[in-house]
Structure 1
Amino acid sequence: MPTTRRRGLTEQAATAAIDQACRALRLPTIRAQFPDIAETAGRDQMSYRGFLAELRMAECDDRVRRRSERRIKAAAFPREKSLRGFDFDENLNVDPAVIHTLATCEWVKKGLPLCLIGDSGTGKSHLLIALGTEAAMAGFRVKYTWPPSWSTNSSRPPTTSCSPRRSPVTAASTFSTSTNSDTWSSTAAAPNSSSRC
């Protein structure tokens, strides 16, 4: 079915058509940010391609952010923790360089395990949640589990299968922490290498 071009739309009609098209195409960020980006494009005398690129990049960036938020929520962490919130000065036995290297998630990509061991109150749970959050933000699917959810026949954390949609798992890593009273694990799977905006 051929499409008809609408020439000579008024500004109000064009804005309504953009709003309607963004709803139909499920482009919430473009719909919300279009007026501001259009105003900036006019003021900066941006080319049509530049204007379109700004709109598309805004949509893609927002989708990446929302995907990260969904992965963090799906991980089911009991509380929010970040590496920025960890006090390395109070935990002198924790090497900041090692933790920041772990935050790159190279070990997850290689399928290597991570186990944090230490006394209560040394920041293991904080670091594990923070590293899990970093992994989720890097595109890995992460799952937080407590010991009661583990198999009663197993004395160690399970290796669960977490795979991205439409893609085989290319690497999976389990990281866990343990004290006498507190043990949990988290499993991360490699992100989909062909992710779309």
Structure 2
Amino acid sequence: MRKLTFAMNVSLDGYVAAPGDDLGWTTPNDEVFQWWSDRVDATALALYGRRLWEAMSSHWPTAAQQPGVTPAEHEYARRWLDMPKVVFSSTISAVDWNARLFSGDAVAEITRLKSDDGGPMDIVGATLASSAMRAGLIDEYILVTYPVLIGGGTPFFAALDNWVHLNLVETQSFPGGVNLMRYETRV
């Protein structure tokens, strides 16, 4: 069975985006950016919700050709393009860049994908992750926490029907007060 991880940048008060989907507070330093790039490189399949897909696919396919692109951004763009992706949406009609579109029951499809052979999967997008979270499909949570309070927006954690017990398995500190915490679900 494949492992499913939910990893995102998160504010100290638990949000992945400020109101209006504002991500301006999440500008990563070089070390955090490299961590995310390595994460993308190690992901066998990324599961995207529509909103984050639209944000990522509007930037990364052409990022390497932009003026002033850094070697790290070039590397991330290549890794992102190479990574297989499934986009869950009933409102868009086509995807590109090594992705396929799925418009049916997300929980059923994620359950099916988890039962397949293959490497680790990342779920990308808080709305999609909330469905998987409520269904008990997420094996690991990674919070890359920024020292900022944004007071509202899109929460990292969904409202749950049952408690989810976690084990802290890794912590890492980055410059600028950014901290990573990785938890595995207890079974």
TM-score (structure 2 length as normaliser): 0.24
Give the greater-gyration-radius structure (CA): 1
Higher helix proportion? 1
- The structure, 1 or 2, with the larger RCO (C-alpha pairs under 8 Å, 6+ apart) is 2
More strand by share: 2
